[in-house]
Structure 1
């Protein structure tokens, strides 16, 4: 399986959190972007 690219993470977060400007996600470090994605995933898995 191929790893998820940064663009895919940003696109997914932008769809889930449309109130957050896309540039905010683009400005995050890789580690922070991963943490944000994990938080959203955990929230939806509850």
Structure 2
């Protein structure tokens, strides 16, 4: 429900849990040499006129 003025911008930065190495209950963010990394991020937008 936010109106954006002319030339207003915003940024979406997909990332893992911030500060996760310092929180044992967060998912691990270290990728070991034998592991495969795969991540999907899907954004869906609508426009209200």
Is the TM value for this pair above 0.5? no
Which structure has the larger Rg over C-alpha atoms? 2
Higher relative contact order (CA 8 A, sep 6+): 1
TM-score (ref. length: structure 1): 0.25
Report the structure, 1 or 2, having the larger helix content. 1
TM-score (ref. length: structure 2): 0.25
